[in-house]
Amino acid sequence: MTADAETRDATPPDEVDIRTEEGRLSALYVDGVAKAISENDSARVHDLAGDLHESDLGDLIEALEHDDRPKLVELLGKDFDFAALTEVDETVRVQLLEELAPETVAEGMRDLDSDDAVYILEDLDEADRDKILEQMSGAERVALTRSLDYPESSAGRRMQTEFVAAPPFWTVGHVIDYVADTEGLPDTFYEIFIVDPAYKLLGSVALDRLLRARRSKLLSEILEEDPRTIRATDDQEDAARAFERYNLVSAAVVDEAGRLVGVLMVDDILDVIEEEADEDLRALGGVTGDEEISDPVLYTARSRVPWLLVNLATAFFSASVIGLFEATIEQMVALAVLMPIVASMGGNAGTQTMTVAVRALATHDIGGHNARRLIRRETLVGLLNGIICAVVVGMIAGLWFQSAQLGAIIAAAMVTNLVFAGLFGILIPLGLDKMKFDPAVSSGVFLTTVTDTVGFFSFLGLASWWFRLGPF
């Protein structure tokens, strides 16, 4: 909450707090800005939003009504920080950029680091993107186009092409003077890269290491020879993994020939990690598109319906299993009352296992060395918890329908289903991962099919056999 506390302190007392206690944007503040916009009161808009951090400005843009967004940009004029666009949802960004004049956008992006500029441009369609690029200087355009040529979600897209590089024969003193005297260095940097004349990366020197060295030392004497590097074509998730694993704050990005082409910064990696975790979570919840909370109704509905239809197919499949036992149910309706319990408990237990497995796969915590142990563990956990749930469900069902036999049958079905749930809760994600599918996306639907089918079949089948009812 400190950040918010400070924002409050920085605001004069007669102003509205921009964030509530919980760190959310204050509705009062947003309304104030919207009112100033509707009155075309440029001075008031500057007062309220002229000095915001890019991140707060981004939140404000999202909170405003659709039509007020371009007006805010116009009213703020030169004071609008385009970096704020890196903080808003894709839908909002694309819509807003389409409504602004290409010259305004090109002008606003002049001061951005290349990674922010690429982030803003990459989701536009090519025609819009080209219109903006045309308004830029040749050098800027070349640098941005080169980044945009790397595949989506690659390190090349996320990297910043501005960095500080020096030859190995410079002294520490020389570099320090160079940094002090040179205009146009990147806004922020944490290390100096040491390169040969062809820009092949020889090593790096972190700033704290530079400061600790004598001025007379050569860079070649103090450089770290094998810094962790990222290839521009590497996936951003692999880059994030390397940052996490080796506690990096920045890393050189090199091309196929080992030449330095950019630098990845940890703040971008934070976004990648958040995005990645988000994707897994949404995928497990059946939200598979790149839906955002600012999306309109139709778009949201359309992006969610395929998943529902897939599930509908599996629901019909489990219904057909029940259909096999129509005659059985007709003779003993209690079975219809109890059968969803067995199926749903299997689903719950299986989801527990699947969640752990999917997350462990995402963080590379499952491998050849422990997969077998995990399969054994999950099956045994299913067996143990199956027994516990079986005792409870058996007693309650037995008492409810005054039939110890029915209690025993639902108990047996429960154990069976929870063992299957544990086994398939881990086998399905492992199998999908082995076949190079994303286990977060489709494990759930396969798992439900298994737990519903096994749940209905074991319970109804056992009952039908024991009470000599129905088809078998």
Q: What part of residues 340-399 is at the interface with its own copies (CB under 8 A)? A: 340-341, 343-345, 348-349, 351-352, 354-356, 359-360, 363-370, 374, 377, 380-381, 384-385, 388-389, 392-393, 396
Q: Which tokens go with 426?
A: 């881990």
How far is 174 from 259, CA to CA, in rounded Å? 23
Taking the complex as a whole, the smallest distance from the CB of residue 433 to its own copies amounts, in Å, to 9
User: Among residue numbers 396 through 415, which ones bind its own copies (CB under 8 A)?
Assistant: 396
CB of 110 to its own copies, least distance (A): 20
Residues facing residue 230 across a β-bridge: 253
Site for its own copies in 142-161 (CB under 8 A): none
Q: Which helix (H) or strand (E) holds 235?
A: none
Q: Which of 410, 358, 375, 372 minimizes the C-alpha distance to 389? A: 410
Among 21, 24, 151, 466, binds its own copies (CB under 8 A): 24
One-letter identity of residue 246: Y
**Distance of closest approach, residue 366 Cβ to its own copies, in angstroms:** 7
Judged by CB under 8 A, the residue of 245, 404, 405, 437 near its own copies is 245
Which residue among 246, 437, 466, 472 contacts its own copies (CB under 8 A)?
246
CA dist., res. 61 & res. 69, Å (int): 6
Residue 190 in the binding site for its own copies (CB under 8 A)? yes
Q: Side by side, which strands form the sheet with 201-206?
A: 165-166, 191-195, 201-206
Question: What's the count of helices (H) and strands (E) in the chain, helices before strands?
Answer: 22, 6
Q: Does 179 bind its own copies (CB under 8 A)?
A: yes
**200 secondary structure, DSSP code:** B
Residue 355 or 416 having the CB closest to its own copies: 355
Under the binding rule (CB under 8 A), the answer on residue 53 touching its own copies is yes
Contact status: 176 vs its own copies (CB under 8 A) = yes
CB of 245 to its own copies, least distance (A): 4
In the bound complex, what is the minimum distance in angstroms from residue 321's beta carbon to its own copies? 9
Minimal distance in Å, beta carbon 252 to its own copies? 10
Between residues 103 and 373, which has the closer beta carbon with respect to its own copies?
373
Binding mask 256-285 for its own copies (x = CB under 8 A): ----------xx-xxx-xx--xx-xxx-xx
Residue selected from 43, 312, 399, 404 as contacting its own copies according to rule CB under 8 A: 312
Q: Are strands 165-166 and 191-195 parallel, antiparallel or unpaired?
A: parallel
CB of 135 to its own copies, least distance (A): 27
322 binds its own copies (CB under 8 A): yes
- 82 vs 132 by CB, closer to its own copies: 82
Residue 342 and residue 339: Cα distance in Å, rounded? Answer: 6
Instruction: Based on the shown chain and the rule CB under 8 A, indicate whether residue 185 belongs to the binding site for its own copies.
Output: yes
Is 200 or 364 the residue whose CB approaches its own copies more closely? 364
Site for its own copies in 429-468 (CB under 8 A): 448, 452
Stretch that binds its own copies, among 41-49, 102-110, 130-138, 318-326 (CB under 8 A): 318-326
The full DSSP string for 402-434 is T-HHHHHHHHHHHHHHHHHHHHHHHHHHHHHHH
Residue pair 303/289 in contact by the 8 Å Cβ criterion: yes
CB 293 → its own copies: shortest distance, Å? 5
CA separation, residue 452 to residues 141, 180, 314, 363, 444 (Å): 56, 68, 9, 29, 12
* Planar angle of CA 169, 170, 176, nearest 5 degrees: 160
Contact between 291 and its own copies by CB under 8 A: the answer reads yes
Among the listed residues 20, 38, 137, 216, the single contact to its own copies using CB under 8 A = 20
210 binds its own copies (CB under 8 A): yes
Size of the site for its own copies (CB under 8 A): 132
Name which of 140 and 378 has its Cβ closer to its own copies.
378
Closer residue to its own copies, CB minimum distance, 103 or 111: 111
Q: Establish how many alpha carbons lie within 13 A of residue 445's alpha carbon, considering only the half-sphere containing its beta carbon.
A: 22
Which residues lie closer than 8 Å to 274 by C-beta, 6 or more apart? none
Is the alpha carbon torsion for 322, 325, 330, 332 positive or negative? Answer: negative
H or E, element range at 85:
none
Q: Where are the alpha helices (H) located in 206-265, listed in sequence order?
A: 207-212, 219-222, 236-246
Is residue 223 a contact partner of residue 213, using CB atoms and an 8 Å limit? no
CA atoms within 13 A on the CB side of 147: 29
Judged by CB, which is closer to its own copies: 147, or 355?
355
Kindly state the helix (H) or strand (E) to which residue 303 belongs, with its residue range: helix 297-323
